[in-house]
Amino acid sequence: MSAGQRKLVVVGNGMAGARVVEEILQRDARQFHITMFGAEPYGNYNRILLSNVLNRTQSAEQIFLNPLAWYAQRDITLHAGVKAQRIDRERKVVIGRPLPPAALPYGADDVVTTAPAIEVPYDQVIIATGSRPFVPPMAGSDTPGTFLFRTIDDCDRIAAYAERCRTAVVIGGGLLGLEAARGLLAHGVAVTVVEAAPQLMIAQLDADAAAVLKATMEQMGVTVLLEKITTHILGQPRVTGLQFKDGSTLDADMVVISAGIRPITDIALNSGLTVERGIVCDDQLHTSDPDVFAVGECVQHRGVIYGLVEPIWEQAKTIADVISGVRPAAAYCGSKLATKLKVMGVELASMGDVRSTQPEDEVVVYREPSRGVYKKLVVRGNTLVGAILLGEADTAGVLTQMFMLGTPVPQRRADLLFGTSSGAPILSVLDLPDHAQICNCNGVSKGQIKEAIQLAKCRSVSKVGACTKAGLGCGSCKPLIQQFLEIYAGDVEEDDPSEHYYVPGVPLAKSELIAAIKARQLKSVSAVFREFAEGKEDPGSKPGLASLLKSLWPDEYEDERDARFINDRVHANIQRDGTFSVVPRIYGGVTSAAELRRIANVAVKYDVRMVKITGGQRIDLLGVKKEQLPAMWKDLGMPSGHAYTKSFRTCKSCVGTDFCRYGLGDAIALAQAIERRFQGVESPHKMKLATAGCPRNCSEAYVKDLGAVAIGGGKWEIYLGGAAGGTVRKGDLLCTVDSHAEVLTYMGRFIQYYRENAKYMERSYGFVERLGIAHLRDVLVNDSQGICARLDTEIEAAVAAYKDPWATDAAAPAYPAQFTGPVAVMNEQGELHP
């Protein structure tokens, strides 16, 4: 300890004590010298996971939060196995005594030991003694074979004893009691839960939910007895059963008592501090002595005792702010209670007032007993004041958020119980923790985006992007950012017109831009900049414009390669180390021995670092230098597989009718026809296709941008907007047709419509979802806009304009140094290269 440090003593080394120390060290690691008393002979562990130790899914070591070394590293003196008994407030010392090894750390009795007292002087004390199990008054509660469930050692004792038992009784049908029952089941004993109240989990559930839970538990093999008050634990020398107040009895080989907790207040009582049910604290967590604080389950704050972690973490923060002087006026004003947990593997979320208490409350209930599902909302004044989700808690995140923040609930209450019919996007993003990564390209977390919205006042997707870089990579997280804006800002700038621009550097929406380009017959990206952006060539806008121009002018487009991403300049996919990948086209995923031999020869000749089978049923040659590309293409003698550009990529197939004994349609011939027709056709984003010869869907056609599935009788179903990447979505059925030719027609029609109407970088799943399959069917099948013939003509022109870029550019580079790597011009000695 160094001079000038204040002496802080923390009584209790449980989760609350350790947390408050961590919070203080975070704020100021040098202000205090810290001494901790812990009655258990361990470092600090996560008590919440104790039932996992009991049911053996985790070892005791795995639930330690801070090992003993943690204390040493932070120069904290830890008296482990020492119980602090009294605070001498006159002399300002905390007095403790070592516990004998067999003593219960949370025992109420003062322990008689011969060991000398340990006295530690203090400037401030924090009491974090937690709670002890409550043992209801009954005879024989000390009979061997009776256990409490509170500490690691309890778990060990219960587990060891259970080995020789066939039946066990848990007294107490609350959260911990059910956890203990779960733990015991894992030891192969028959478990009965005995509860004095008329229902299980009275703190978290209403009577109906509890009845559903009881049924679920009974299905799992746990017997539940309600309204049973235990008066005797029977048996000598060991437990043989219980006797209840109504005179009935129950045989049992062991008993675990888990009937709730009571704050441990002994040290406060011994030291003359104010104690009611718990140690009474003000909003700064001072006890009745301003130099003595308390935190955690031992605290009574505004009449409430908290037994959940979140309120205790909030208390710990407040103490740390106050005691370190960072925010001396910090105040803890109490917590709203919401829990999400698993009871015996059953999902449960419970928050607030689960029993409606006001006549004007709106109560929404959904009950599905056969699946053990029960959901309830209590809405008051259009805000959520209580909720239960039992058996299925998918929407727990959004409910908790709405409950905690008091935000207005949506009109359709059902969305809160089941998610929105469109797939519940808002709910799922709210469910994410702050550290969850949203933009995977630039590593931006939800917390950072939230900060940009709330603190930096970003009010549009592009502004959030400018502030955090979120959404500036592949852009696929932009819809999520939009949702965060709606949630955290509420008032999204609808009037930021740049949101609607097709590309940021040209102030026109897509339809306006297309009209203007056609009107002025602009055929190159630089011409568009010249006409509409005063010649300012925004680099981020170049690829989008190039893609659009190429689809507008299939034959006449002037291909300025500088407008294209490097992949499209050199027809290969750039890798993390600056090398490229080469993927030749393999129509429908069907190759030949001769082709494979050529590929193998090329791989050897060019020393290819990896040969990889892709997910699109093709072969990827990786680690290729730019200089090697044209020669490799020539040697391969195969067209480009376009595994790099925003275009038609590939059409996978299953073996269809040729060999498969289940095949209903010729999936291979169809896939090859599709791939030969649409190869290289550019689009707002990539398109991955598949054909499946039967609904077993081995080629995953249901989850492709476009998919065709044979259903027998020569019929094919056409699916649109499927996805199985970062987003997973089953495609929507557009129509069912009778021939390969019709599949090609409808697919082509959709592709052209997508090319004309989607935003740049909008995948088909977003596009189809945005427009809706009903609209697409109307336009593409019923021809409601009378454009089908035109769409068919336009896609035909795009198909006709296809040239294999490998053949073209291997013959002659499209621009100087297209396939040249870095050129050495001068060595380090300043000598020029020839």
Partner 1 sequence: MNASETHLWGNGPDGQVTALADILVDIGPIDAIAPGQGRAFIVAGRTIAVFRQRDGRVFAIDNQCPHRGGPLAEGIVGNGTVICPLHSWKIDLSSGRCLSEAACVQTHEVRVVNGRLLIASGIAA
Which positions from 588 through 617 interact with partner 1, judged by CB under 8 A?
A: none
Q: Are 363 and 378 in contact (CB under 8 A)?
A: yes
What's the number of CA atoms in the CB half-sphere (13 Å) around residue 22?
Answer: 15
Question: Toward partner 1, which CB reaches closer, 358 or 820?
Answer: 820
Give the full edge-to-edge strand order of the sheet including 118-121: 82-88, 93-98, 118-121
Instruction: Name the residue type at position 738.
Output: D
Q: Are 735 and 781 in contact (CB under 8 A)?
A: yes
Question: Toward partner 1, which CB reaches closer, 433 or 539?
Answer: 539
Name the token pair of 386: 């209580």
Question: Quick check: helix, strand or coil at residue 599?
Answer: helix
According to the binding rule CB under 8 A, does residue 441 interact with partner 1? Answer: yes
Compute the distance between CA of residue 196 and CA of residue 211 in angstroms, rounded to an integer. Answer: 15
Task: Build a one-symbol-per-residue string for 471-510: x at contacts with partner 1 by CB under 8 A, - elsewhere.
Answer: -xx-------------------------------x-----
Question: Toward partner 1, which CB reaches closer, 236 or 829?
Answer: 829
Least distance in Å: CB of 400 to partner 1? 33
Compute the distance between CA of residue 4 and CA of residue 138 in angstroms, rounded to an integer. Answer: 53
Q: Are 82 and 99 in contact (CB under 8 A)?
A: yes
According to the binding rule CB under 8 A, does residue 761 interact with partner 1? Answer: no
Out of 360, 534, 555, 828, name the contact with partner 1 by CB under 8 A. Answer: 828
Out of 329, 333, 594, 825, name the contact with partner 1 by CB under 8 A. Answer: 825
Out of 102, 329, 455, 824, name the contact with partner 1 by CB under 8 A. Answer: 824
Q: Is residue 312 within a helix (H) or strand (E), and if so which, with residue range?
A: helix 309-324
Name the token pair of 303: 């009449």
Question: Toward partner 1, which CB reaches closer, 278 or 465?
Answer: 465
Question: Toward partner 1, which CB reaches closer, 103 or 566?
Answer: 566
Q: Is residue 676 within a helix (H) or strand (E), and if so which, with residue range?
A: helix 667-678
Which positions from 532 through 571 interact with partner 1, judged by CB under 8 A?
A: 535-543, 560-567, 569
Least distance in Å: CB of 210 to partner 1? 52
According to the binding rule CB under 8 A, does residue 325 interact with partner 1? Answer: no
Out of 381, 578, 725, 772, name the contact with partner 1 by CB under 8 A. Answer: 578
Out of 574, 611, 773, 801, name the contact with partner 1 by CB under 8 A. Answer: 574
Compute the distance between CA of residue 155 and CA of residue 643 in angstroms, rounded to an integer. Answer: 56
Least distance in Å: CB of 625 to partner 1? 12
Which positions from 614 through 673 interact with partner 1, judged by CB under 8 A?
A: none
721 dihedral zone (left: phi>0; alpha: psi -120 to 50; beta): left
Question: Quick check: helix, strand or coil at residue 505?
Answer: coil
| Cα–Cα nearest to 45, from 79, 17, 84 | 17
Question: Toward partner 1, which CB reaches closer, 49 or 566?
Answer: 566
Own/partner contacts of 609-613, CB < 8 Å, gap of 24 or more, are: 609/579
Least distance in Å: CB of 811 to partner 1? 18
Least distance in Å: CB of 115 to partner 1? 57
Under rule CB under 8 A, how many of the chain's residues touch partner 1?
44
Out of 526, 614, 697, 727, name the contact with partner 1 by CB under 8 A. Answer: 526
Out of 134, 659, 662, 815, name the contact with partner 1 by CB under 8 A. Answer: 815
Least distance in Å: CB of 286 to partner 1? 42
Name the token pair of 188: 């192969």
Out of 163, 329, 555, 576, name the contact with partner 1 by CB under 8 A. Answer: 576
Question: Quick check: helix, strand or coil at residue 32?
Answer: strand
Least distance in Å: CB of 455 to partner 1? 17
Instruction: Name the residue type at position 570.
Output: V
Question: Toward partner 1, which CB reaches closer, 366 or 565?
Answer: 565
| Cα–Cα nearest to 379, from 338, 418, 410, 346 | 410
Compute the distance between CA of residue 420 and CA of residue 398 in angstroms, rounded to an integer. Answer: 12
Question: Toward partner 1, which CB reaches closer, 624 or 667?
Answer: 624
Residues that bind partner 1 (CB under 8 A): 441-442, 466, 469, 472-473, 505, 526, 535-543, 560-567, 569, 574, 576, 578, 815-818, 820-828, 830, 832
